[in-house]
Amino acid sequence: MSDHATPPRPARSRLFRSIAHRVAGDPEELPVEGRLPSFDRATSWLNTAPLSPASLRGRVVLVDFWTYTCVNWLRTLPYLKGWAAKYEDAGLTVVGVHTPEFGFERDLRNVVAQSGALGIAYPIAIDSDYGVWDEFANHYWPAVYLADAHGRIRYHHFGEGEYARTEMVIQQLLVDAGAQDVDMDLVMVDPQGLEVAADWASLRSPETYLGYGQSSGFVSEDAAYYDRRHAYAPAPATRLPLNSWDLSGDWTLARHAAVGHEPGGRISFAFHARDVNLVMGPANRGAPVPFRVSIDGRPVGEAHGTDVDADGAGVVADQNTYQLVRQPGPISDRVVEIEFLGGGVEAYCFTFG
């Protein structure tokens, strides 16, 4: 990525599955991958004064790249918080680098609100201009880099998973730094809601963007209607192929999102997964939009996600990831439909688990 004052968002680079950098041998044989890069290009900091490699010298440093709506990252958060709490006194500093994917994630008010809601107490570097991202030559959310007490990168991991391996590297680097009585048991976590690991065995639906800049699978797509209000007529749900989606009602398909204008607008998606999540928000701050979710034309019932009730009712109150469906039973091909009972909603991206 070139060095822009406000760099463009990179091409789609969240990981549908975990991609690990595996190193041979025991932890003490970890290679030196380079020096811990600077954080000087962070635009601001939360929970700390600005940090630097020099100020962190003598401590083991875990750098975690995240963006708050990324479900892949949310599923790693219980481990990050667990490691930060367990190993801080032994010499570990966790630095979360918040690099935004969507435009609303550049809004510091949103990051402050969501980091607080998520209970993140460790230092956060706000990276709204992708400066720290560039310094690390990073390409992924989530991404973890571990530096030893001498400021050398010794390990990295991209995506979800490898929690035991990552924690064992933390322990080894702390011992190497002279920490005494490091508890070598692994943290126990209790994930809730969006933090619960995906059911990989049944997951057959990929992350799907709705804005035409990265969209796929839209059955009524017509470039002639990009960036224009259009009344979409729905395709029958029985005609939606797996992993395709459709709109009905008054919408604008913009580069960044599908924007609904009137009450009664609907999005349908044919999926195969335990969980259905949707990144969305009100077009105007402080103007919540109620919605209702159904599966195969019926109320979600016990398959409701954490952000809707058994009748499928929910409210888009802020720009965030909403869990619409969590199925308790056998997984099969289904069609989820979200009906918005008010206008003024922006729908960005479906994710599944």
CB-based contact 38:135 (threshold 8 Å): yes
- For residue 221, give the amino acid letter: E
Segment 85-119, tens digit of pLDDT:
999 999 999 999 999 999 999 999 999 999 999 99
Identify the CA nearest to 218 among candidates 167, 254, 178: 254
Mean pLDDT of 293-322: 97
Look at strands 320-326 and 345-352 and give their pairing: unpaired
First to last CA, the chain: 30
Q: d(Cα 275, Cα 296) in Å, to the nearest integer?
A: 15
| CATH class (in words) of the domain with range 208-352 | mainly beta
For tokens 């400021």, the residue is 151
User: Where are the CATH 2.60.120.260 domain residues in the chain?
Assistant: 208-352
Q: d(Cα 290, Cα 117) in Å, to the nearest integer?
A: 21
Identify the CA nearest to 98 among candidates 45, 157, 145: 45
> How high does pLDDT run on average in the chain?
92
pLDDT at site 28 = 53
Question: What letter would DSSP give residue 123?
Answer: -
The share of the chain scoring above pLDDT 90, in percent, equals 88
Residue 239, by phi and psi: left (phi above 0), alpha (psi -120 to 50) or beta?
alpha
Segment 212-221, tens digit of pLDDT:
999 999 999 9
Mean pLDDT of 75-81: 98
Segment 264-297, tens digit of pLDDT:
999 999 999 999 999 999 999 999 999 999 999 9
Token code pair at residue 73: 């990252």
Torsion of CA 129, 38, 18, 191, to 10 degrees: -80
**pTM for the predicted model, two decimal places:** 0.90
Judged against a pLDDT cut of 80, whether residue 126 lies above it is answered with yes
pLDDT at site 183 = 95
User: Where are the CATH 3.40.30.10 domain residues in the chain?
Assistant: 27-195
Segment 215-261, tens digit of pLDDT:
999 999 999 999 999 999 977 766 799 999 999 999 999 999 999 99
Judged against a pLDDT cut of 90, whether residue 9 lies above it is answered with no
pLDDT at site 329 = 87
pLDDT at site 237 = 60
Give residue 73's pLDDT band: very low, low, confident or very high (50, 70, 90): very high
pLDDT at site 4 = 28
Domain 27-195 classified CATH 3.40.30.10?
A: yes
Under DSSP, is residue 147 helix (H, G, I), strand (E, B) or coil? strand
Q: Examine residue 142 and say whether the peptide bond preceding it is cis (omega within 30 degrees of 0).
A: yes
Mean pLDDT of 202-213: 97
Non-local (6+) Cβ contacts of 288 within 8 A are 282, 315, 316, 317, 342
Look at strands 92-98 and 60-66 and give their pairing: parallel
Report in angstroms the alpha-carbon separations of 73 from 153, 187, 269. 21, 18, 23
CB-based contact 38:133 (threshold 8 Å): no
